[in-house]
Every structure is written in structure tokens, then in C-alpha cells.
Chain A
């Protein structure tokens, strides 16, 4: 193979990888837009916490993982679940409380678990899954596998004591776990600076945990940092902590539409205009000449169609039989 051929092959691999990330991020964005529509159309029971604006974190981090690696997710978890390989149709079915859903309609938006893809569950207790992720890492190490466990959580979870209990143990026992903090600037309706003293990175570092900070809107930056920490953990180098600075486009949940008391419209528009992770990746792909507009447009169309078919499938899917209510209490 000539040097020119090698260069072309490398470019093709990079293009394929980036286009894959573009597809995933676009799918998550369309997914969340549909969730919002289903809520507004009163077709979805309950509420949901949308991930729009934060797609680069889930896609970048999960891009560094194997299928058999573990994740735990949060109340704002659709992006993590999809990026870890969840089926779009079964996701929507769960959000709509239907029988074919990931949890047979028993979990809903905040509890998607997809064991086959290493997803140990989204979690509706802020910080509540930090122990589970750490335990999965403990288990991987004890069983002698080289699996890694990733714990997603938001800036709000920085206020939960459990996180510090388990980071301490992860460091003491050199567990293969990476804590991924998605700082979207708001603990629900409160700016994180009103609730977070000192330096975020000093917290894991005080436990001797390797900690990195990245632009959470740049999927390549997230991917590179996550890969460094994940592979370090996989090799037995111990836990890592990745702080991803990002932004939540929607409110705390779909019903949080009047947000002026805690953040301005200008701030939201600035992030969407200047810092949108999908636009940033799109521009990067075009500028590098890795693909043309038509390729990206085709990917977008494909993602949109996937999501629309999935919604149609879920809307047609049956609800669970009422008698199933008492099933699955015990294994």
C-alpha cells in the first residue's frame, strides 16, 4: 500500500467514525424533539428530561466504550441509552408505557435499562447510580474481565455524598470506573455556581483520581479525553473523572417552559447559535472535506426517518395487560 493509499484509508476511517458520531448525535436530537412533541400532544404519560444540547458528551464517551462495558445513566438519560446502543423503537415504547418497551412499561423515561448493551439503568435519584457504576467496576475487576464502567451524572449530583463515598473506594481499590460529570450549568432550576463551592476538579483529585476537563460541545474532545481515561482504567490504572462543560437547551423537564427567572433567552440562543455540538461537528466534517453536504443531509434524513418510524411503532404498540402489574417484583 502506497503512502497515498494509506493516507486515503486513514481519512476514510476517520470519516466513517465521524459520520457515525454525526448520525448518533442527530438521532438523539430528533429523538428528543419527538419526545417534546409527544409531551405537548399529550401522548406521553408523565414528564421527560431532554438531552438536547448535550449530545456530544454521550456520543463521545460511549464512542470510547465497548458493547460489554457498563454505563449508568440519569434522569436525563435518553442520550446515554441511545449512544450505548439502545433501540430507538423500544426506547419510545418505554416512554409511552407500552408492553414492548425496555422495561415492559414499568420504568418509563427515567429508568431505561438495557443490560444487553451494558446499560445498568437510568436513575431518577440524583447521584443514585454512582454506587451501582462503582460496584460494576468492582465486579469487572473481581471477575478478571477488562470491562470498564462509566458513571454519567450532572452537576447536581456534585451535592450528593454518595459520590464521594464511592470515589474514595474506587481510588483505594483502583477500580476501572470513569465518572463523567455533565455540567450543564443548572441544578434543576438553580445555577450550579450557587450550589457548588470550590473547584469541581479538585474534588476527584483529592481522592487521587485522574481528572480531565473538556469542552462538552466538541465530540472529538470528549471522545479523546474519555478514551484516555477509559483505556487507562482498562489497563488497571484506576478510576478517572471527566468534567464535560455543556448546556441543556430545554428546561429541567419538558414542562419547564418559563425559564426567565433562572436564565435568559439570550443565553440559550447564544449556546444554540455558537456552541451547538451537532453544528460544530457538521462544520468540522465539511471543513476537513471528509464528506459533502449531501452525505450529511442523507444522514439527517435517515435519522429522522428512523425516529419517525420508531414513534409510529411505539404509538401502535399495546399497553401492558393490567395483570402484569404484580410481575417482576421479585426475580
Chain B
């Protein structure tokens, strides 16, 4: 129901991913006094991307808090606030800045519950971004979800539609664990159907975005749309592709990936992080281990080139998987060249 191409049933609106994120935050801020947002330029500016516009007007600067440019500091402050009764949503403007918060995220937030034998909890959401092709060069374009997903104790959410973004963010805020919620900054304007009422989506449940028979395309975040476009191209050639979106990397709905791969016998995994040691390696291994005897060919992986993201459009566009590349890989996998 979340495909942008579907016709909206009665009562269902089309809103963008940015609006869905904004709505989820507003609803949770309204529902729970302990929720607050902290980050750089989140209040009057509504973030440089305007995703949070209007929140400070409704909830005030006490709950939509502009911070100094101190990513590690606001994350650490968030961890302490989360341990003591609040539910912070820490806004880290660019995913690249995850490098700056890593101690507070990986050593503090992720481990506090375990290290304390379950005494401490850190119900914190860290919202940040991924994605290249915005002509922002190497320090504002990375997709670092693999770094985060490698750390036990962190949940990692990668929404690809407005419907998923809203339902998953509300669940993330209500979760008693640290959740890293990563939005594709190129897709904030993508519109899709979202019901007007209250709903949440569970973390750890994949979604089949398009059913198919011949090949499974597993896409994350920005790559879900790439996979759907590839499926359109393939359909015109008589290849039926199934597109599966894990939606969360941790917890991972491995069973859904395996089930689809067993059905189609072929799988391609696409993620915008670097290919080496990346998310695609883990997902491909899960499929290979769970569906080996059903596969007609090895699982294929497509990720960002193993180079820093370059600036010039002709260079940058070489680094990210495209629908054409996914379709060509699928053709090859299906023995159709």
C-alpha cells in the first residue's frame, strides 16, 4: 500500500517523506511530554532541509532545542537524558557526522543497558541522513549505516516511503533502546500515501514493495526506488522482479529475505553504502545461508563504489547503483543478456 504508484483509497493522503517525519515527531511530541528534539538549527530554521518546520511554533524552544555545533555533546547529553526519564530525538544533520558521535553512540548508548546488567536504558532516537548525488562531495554524502548496524545494542531504521517513515519513526521514539533513524536526503520530497490516523509500524519487519517471480531485488532506503525502477525496466522485458525492503537493518527480518530468495531462486542486494564490508555483504550472506539450496546463482551485491564520494556530477554519478545497473545485473543473473 505504500507504493507511490497506487491510487489512494478514500481518506488516504499523499504526503512527502519530510512531511511524514514531521508528522511523526509532532504526534509523539503531543502524545508524550518526555519527548524532545535537540540539534543544530532544528528550531526556527526547521533544519537546513526544512524537515522540522513548524515544530518549534507548536512545542516551543524548550522541546525543539537549537544546540551548539557539538554533535558528540548533544548525543552524550541525549544519552544522559534518556537514562533519566526523557525520550530525546537527537538530530545529526548529515550522516557523515556520525563519525563525530561514535563514542557516545557505540560505547555509551549501545552498551549502557548490557553493561549495567539491564539496569540502565537509553530510549534515544538519533535521526540522521544518508545518500550521495546531491553534489555535496565526500564529507556530506556518505551512507554509513553499516558502521552503526555492526554495533550490538543499536537499532537501525532505513525508511524508503512516507508511510514507512512515519510509522517506523513513531515506533523508534517509543522504543526503549537507542535507535538510529537514517533518512535519504534526496528522497525527502518523494510523496506517497499515508493514512490520516494514528498508526505505528514494528521495527524488524521487512516489506515486499513489489511481488515478482524471477528475481529478488533487496533494496534499502534510497535503493528501494532504484530497485522499483529496475523492476519496471525488467517487466518490459518479461522478467518479473520482486522488491523487498528490510526497512530495519537491526533487527533484521532475515526470514523475509530468505523466503523471497527461495521463491525466485535469484537475489541481488542493493545498498548505498560502500560495497566492501557493507550492508550488502551481510544481507547477501543471510540469503546465501538461508536459501542456498534454492538459489540458481550466487547472490549479487551492488553498493557505492569504494571511493570517497567525488564532487563533479560526471564522477559522482558513477559511484551509486542505478536502475540500469540493477536491471543489467538482474538480466545477467537470469541468463538474459
User: Which residues of A are at the interface with B, using a C-beta cutoff of 8 A?
Assistant: 70, 72, 101-107, 111, 113-115, 120-121, 123, 125, 128-140, 142-143, 149, 161-162, 165-166, 168-169, 172, 327-331
Contact = CB atoms under 8 A, between A and B. Distances in A.
Contacts of B70: 165-166, 168-169
A71 to B, nearest CB: 11
Contacts of A132: 76, 79-80, 83, 108
Nearest to A116: B119
Contacts of A169: 67-68, 70, 73-74, 77
Contacts of B120: 113, 115, 120-121
Contact of A165 (B72, B82, B85): B72
23 contacts: A102-B116, A103-B115, A103-B117, A111-B115, A111-B116, A113-B116, A121-B116, A123-B108, A128-B76, A128-B104, A136-B80, A136-B84, A139-B84, A142-B36, A142-B62, A143-B86, A165-B68, A168-B70, A169-B68, A169-B73, A169-B74, A329-B114, A331-B122
Contacts of B248: none
Contact of A128 (B62, B107, B117, B177): B107
Given A135-B76, A142-B86, A169-B67, 18 more contacts: A103-B116, A105-B117, A106-B115, A113-B112, A115-B116, A125-B107, A128-B104, A132-B83, A138-B81, A138-B86, A139-B85, A140-B84, A143-B86, A168-B68, A169-B73, A172-B68, A331-B122, A331-B177
A102 B119 contact: yes
A135 B116 contact: no
Given A111-B116, A125-B103, A162 B86 contact: no
Nearest to B124: A135
Interface string B92-130: 000000000001100110001111111111110000000
* Residue with the greatest number of chain A CB neighbours at <10 A, chosen from B72, B117, B176: B117
Interface of B: 34, 36, 62, 67-68, 70, 72-86, 88, 103-104, 107-108, 112-123, 152-153, 155, 176-177
Contact of B76 (A101, A134, A142, A330): A134
Contacts of A137: 80
B108 to A, nearest CB: 6
* Residue with the greatest number of chain A CB neighbours at <10 A, chosen from B84, B120, B177: B84
Contact of A162 (B62, B73, B82, B177): B73
A166 B116 contact: no
A330 B81 contact: no
B108 A329 contact: no
B282 to A, nearest CB: 17
B96 to A, nearest CB: 18
Interchain residue pairs A-B with the least CB separation, the first 7? A131-B76, A135-B80, A165-B73, A104-B117, A132-B80, A113-B116, A103-B117
A131 B77 CA distance: 5
Nearest to B71: A165
Nearest to A161: B72
Contacts of A140: 84
Contacts of A103: 115-117, 119
Nearest to B153: A329
A62 B238 CA distance: 73
A120 B73 contact: no
A130 B79 CA distance: 10
Given A120-B80, A132-B108, A328 B73 contact: no
